[in-house]
Structures are given as structure tokens and as C-alpha cells.
Amino acid sequence: MGGEETAALKARTMKIRTMAAIIILSMLLICALACGDPGAPEATPTPTLTTTPTPTPKPTQCERDRDALQDVLDDYYKDNGEWPTETGGPGDIDWEKLVPSFLFRIPVSDGNCDWSVNSDPEGEVCVGPRIGCVSCKCPCSTRCAE
């Protein structure tokens, strides 16, 4: 082998080593960037509080009666074009017009609430005006408009 061939072989070997070094350094740089700064503090996840759903209170008997009466009043009005009262307008409910066709019996809560048909808004179940001096034990309904 001549001197030129040896020099060419050494130059080629040097190029290969240089390329290998560049590839290795590039891979290390990519790994370092992908993994982040080793000196930076790690971010710790902040726990979030999950809210406990508040239980929905069960409706009272008074509220169930009010809702059922509202449905019955609406049905009666659809069928008859008037409210189930003595005059057909807002006022004290005439139970004979509702029992037994629309209701099985008069609600027990009527003794404490004196259920009536409101005039404002018209047709809404309300606590009757005659309850005035008696303490209303039925807080689930609005007082009737007078």
C-alpha cells in the first residue's frame, strides 16, 4: 500500500468517526430535549376537590298534595272550562266537584292549608284566605291573592 492509499483510508476513517460522533451527540441532544430540563423542579399535580352532590330533599306530604292538586285543577279546567269552585272562578275549592271523578278523596292537608284556586296567577293552587288567624302549617304553597 502506498502512502496515498493510507492517507485516503485515514481520511475516510476520520469522516466516519466524525459522522458517528455527530449522530451520537444529536441523539443525546434529542433525548435531553425530550426529557426536559433535569434541573427544573417537577410539576406536581394539584388535587381537585370533587363536590359531593347534595341530596335532593324528599317532597313533604303538603308539597305532594299541592302538586297533585295542581294537576287535578288543570284537568278539571280543561274538561269544564271553569275552576272547581262555587262560582267557577278563583276561590275556595268545592271538593264535591272533584271527588270522586278527579280525586279519590279530599287531601288531609286541606285542614291545615284550605287549598284554593288563586286569582293571580289564575288557576294556581294556593293557601286560602280563610286561614288568616290560624297559623298555616302548610309552608309549601303561596298565600292566595285577595
Residue 70 near residue 141, CB atoms below 8 Å: no
Q: Strands of the chain (E only): list them.
A: 91-92, 115-119, 122-127
In a domain, 96, yes or no: yes
pLDDT computed for residue 40 by the predictor: 61
Angle at alpha carbon of residue 44, lines to 42 and 50, rounded to 5°: 165
In a domain, 114, yes or no: yes
Domain that holds residue 93: 61-131
Q: Domain count of the chain?
A: 1
Q: What is the pLDDT of residues 92-122, one digit of tens each?
A: 889 999 888 888 888 888 877 788 888 878 8
What residue ranges of the chain have pLDDT lower than 70? 1-2, 35-43, 59, 129-143, 145-146
In a domain, 29, yes or no: no
Cell numbers for 48, please give them: 381537585
Question: For residues 34 and 144, what is the distance between their CA atoms, to the nearest angstrom?
Answer: 72
Cell numbers for 103, please give them: 280525586
In a domain, 34, yes or no: no
In a domain, 120, yes or no: yes
In a domain, 68, yes or no: yes
Question: For residues 94 and 97, what is the distance between their CA atoms, to the nearest angstrom?
Answer: 6
Question: For residues 126 and 138, what is the distance between their CA atoms, to the nearest angstrom?
Answer: 10
Residue type, 5: E
Whole-structure pTM value: 0.54
